[in-house]
């Protein structure tokens, strides 16, 4: 009788122990390193960042956070007063996929700029005046930003109450260092960022 009861307890306890052992610290085992490219890891790390005062939103309530992976698009433009063969890069638009903390693709980010999770969940943004930015040390990544919903565009769904949009934890995305040689050149520069939506 006791033997049967103990066996029954073991069948109940052993799966629980197995789950705990698999979930606790497996990312830190030597043979299973943390994948720093995962959106969830990037979002978690961004929570530890110090946000510069120039783009801070103190006392706000977070409504959503997404990790973006994509490109910043640029095109060549003739430099003003630079002569007939002098060109520079000008920003066109972002194009990126949005991921949540569970590493699931949730939506898109594009020119406007806009963020869309579904046809019923979207928001367009614009700069404050003057623009609120924070340069990234090293000069290799696009600035951190604080934006606001775009005038004349109604934010919908989960973005309906958004008052602030932060772009932080950026990597890459800056225009190429080598200037274009003709007016027809374009460039798509890979970048990542974390976007925070608050009220």
- Residues 131, 184: one domain? yes
82: pLDDT strictly greater than 80: no
- Residues 26, 107: one domain? no
- Residues 25, 82: one domain? no
199: pLDDT strictly greater than 90: yes
Chain segment 10-55, per-residue pLDDT in tens: 333 333 333 333 333 334 445 557 788 899 999 999 999 999 999 9
67: pLDDT strictly greater than 50: yes
- Residues 193, 96: one domain? yes
- Residues 72, 111: one domain? yes
- Residues 30, 62: one domain? no
Distance CA 104, CA 26 (A): 21
- Residues 79, 53: one domain? yes
- Residues 14, 79: one domain? no
| Structural domains counted in the chain | 2
**What per-residue confidence (pLDDT) applies to 18?**
35
- In the structure encoding, which two tokens stand for residue 187, read together? 């460039």
- Residues 25, 49: one domain? no
Chain segment 102-138, per-residue pLDDT in tens: 999 999 999 999 999 999 999 999 999 999 999 998 8
Closest CA to 96 of 66, 67, 125, 71: 71
Tell me the percentage of the chain whose pLDDT exceeds 90: 75
Look at the block and give the residue holding tokens 């640029």: 74
CB under 8 Å to 59, separation ≥6 — which residues? none
- Residues 29, 68: one domain? no
3: pLDDT strictly greater than 50: no
Q: Which domain holds residue 4?
A: 1-34
- Residues 130, 85: one domain? yes
CA dihedral sign of residues 104, 108, 114, 116: negative
Distance CA 189, CA 135 (A): 18
- My answer on whether omega of the bond before 71 falls inside 30° of 0, hence cis, is no
């Amino acid at each position: 009788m006791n033997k049967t009861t103990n066996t029954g307890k073991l069948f109940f306890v052993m799966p629980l122990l197995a789950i705990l052992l698999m979930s606790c610290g497996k990312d830190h085992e030597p043979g299973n390193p943390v994948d720093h490219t995962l959106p969830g890891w990037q979002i978690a790390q961004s929570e530890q960042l110090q946000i510069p005062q120039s783009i801070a939103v103190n006392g706000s309530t977070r409504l959503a956070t997404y990790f973006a992976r994509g490109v910043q698009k640029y095109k060549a433009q003739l430099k003003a007063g630079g002569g007939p063969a002098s060109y520079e890069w000008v920003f066109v638009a972002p194009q990126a996929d949005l991921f949540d903390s569970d590493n699931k693709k949730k939506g898109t980010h594009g020119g406007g700029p806009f963020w869309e999770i579904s046809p019923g969940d979207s928001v367009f943004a614009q700069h404050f005046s003057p623009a609120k930015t924070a340069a990234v040390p090293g000069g290799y990544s696009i600035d951190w930003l604080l934006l606001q919903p775009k005038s004349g565009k109604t934010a919908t769904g989960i973005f309906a109450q958004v008052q602030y949009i932060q772009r932080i934890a950026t990597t890459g995305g800056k225009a190429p260092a080598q200037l274009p040689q003709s007016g027809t050149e374009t460039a798509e520069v890979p970048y990542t960022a974390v976007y925070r939506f608050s009220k």
